[in-house]
Amino acid sequence: MEIVRQSVNRSGVSPVTTLTAALVLCAVEMSFAARPLIIDDADPLAFNEFKIEGGAFYEKDIGCKHRDFPFSVAAGAFPNLEIGAGFGGQFEELTEIEEDSGKECINTKNGIGDLFLTAKWQFMDEATWWPRQAVVPTVKFPTADKDKGLGSGKTDYDLAWIASKSLGEKMGAHINVGYAFIGEPADEDAGDILHYGLALDYQLIDGASCATGPLQWVGEVFAEKELRSGTDNVFMFNTGLRWNPVDTLIMDAAAGTRLAGDAPDLIATAGLTWTFGFTKEESKIGTK
């Protein structure tokens, strides 16, 4: 869940050094959200249950191609409380203009990502008239190389509120509202970030009717607002599938694009989630 990173200005191919809000990468670096979405659900792991997530993420924008390979682990440490940590690698190709010749050149850089620690506490169960609710604090430690432009070099903090509600037997809705406290580097102007969004999931095929396992459609609209500079809101759309071939494994894929604001032209992700432990539950998708 990278809160801050360098971006390419949409007005041209030259990269800028201004640090920008990057909610679009919230689930990229560490995939703490409900893969393959940016928006999370309010459901922590069960007590004594464990989860390993891995995947690949691709972002394409004017003059920039960015790839991330996130990896994270999480555990149900207590009833209704999940804790996790994540790490990963990142690779970037920037199209730059040489000042002397005016020719385009490709600048590549790669390295490790930032380290993230997070928790999810569900403090309210779902009832007839209200959703189940959780709070998710996250801390980003600056392990990525700032000199290469792969990170901000500062510690960031994020606090999110999540509400999830079942809409019948096959559909669910999830709302996120969060605030990111950005550690501002000395040479940059980076303000705090307000981020929010809505996700829906729908059970296309349940496990009882198909031997290959449940299949679920997921989609979301999410947004962010960088509060200091007065920049426009950024809105993006993302949609994909989750497939549960066996009880303990979920495979996912999704793609999305910008709806408004200075955001990537294309994002795409694919990955898997392996859940195991001392508790026995039903298939993970289509049971919330």
Model confidence over 222-233: pLDDT tens digits?
999 988 777 788
Structurally, how many domains does the chain consist of? Answer: 1
For 181-225, what is each residue's pLDDT tens digit? 988 766 666 689 999 999 999 999 987 666 678 999 999 999 999
Indicate whether 66 belongs to any domain. Answer: yes
Indicate whether 14 belongs to any domain. Answer: yes
Indicate whether 48 belongs to any domain. Answer: yes
Task: Supply the pTM of this predicted model.
Answer: 0.84
Check residue 183 and give its pLDDT: 84
The CATH number covering residue 13 comes to: 2.40.160.40
Inform me whether the pLDDT recorded for 250 exceeds 50: yes
Inform me whether the pLDDT recorded for 16 exceeds 70: no
> Residue range 73-99: average pLDDT?
89
The CA distance from 23 to 38, in Å, is 8
Indicate whether 287 belongs to any domain. Answer: no
Place of tokens 């950024």: 234
Please answer whether residues 97 and 125 qualify as being in contact, where contact means their C-beta atoms are separated by less than 8 angstroms: no
Q: Which of 152, 171, 161 is nearest to 121 (CA)?
A: 161
* Top mean-pLDDT range of 62-66, 208-212, 257-261: 257-261
Please answer whether residues 201 and 171 qualify as being in contact, where contact means their C-beta atoms are separated by less than 8 angstroms: yes
Indicate whether 63 belongs to any domain. Answer: yes
Check residue 185 and give its pLDDT: 66
Q: What does the DSSP 8-state code read for residue 142?
A: -
Token digits of residue 165: 């509600």
Please answer whether residues 209 and 170 qualify as being in contact, where contact means their C-beta atoms are separated by less than 8 angstroms: no
For β-strands 266-277 and 49-61, DSSP reports them as antiparallel
* Structural domain boundaries, residue 51: 4-277
Indicate whether 257 belongs to any domain. Answer: yes
Q: How many residues does the chain have?
A: 288
Higher pLDDT, 95 or 86: 86
Check residue 285 and give its pLDDT: 64
Indicate whether 282 belongs to any domain. Answer: no
Indicate whether 286 belongs to any domain. Answer: no
- How far apart, in Å, do the first and last CA atoms of the chain sit? 24
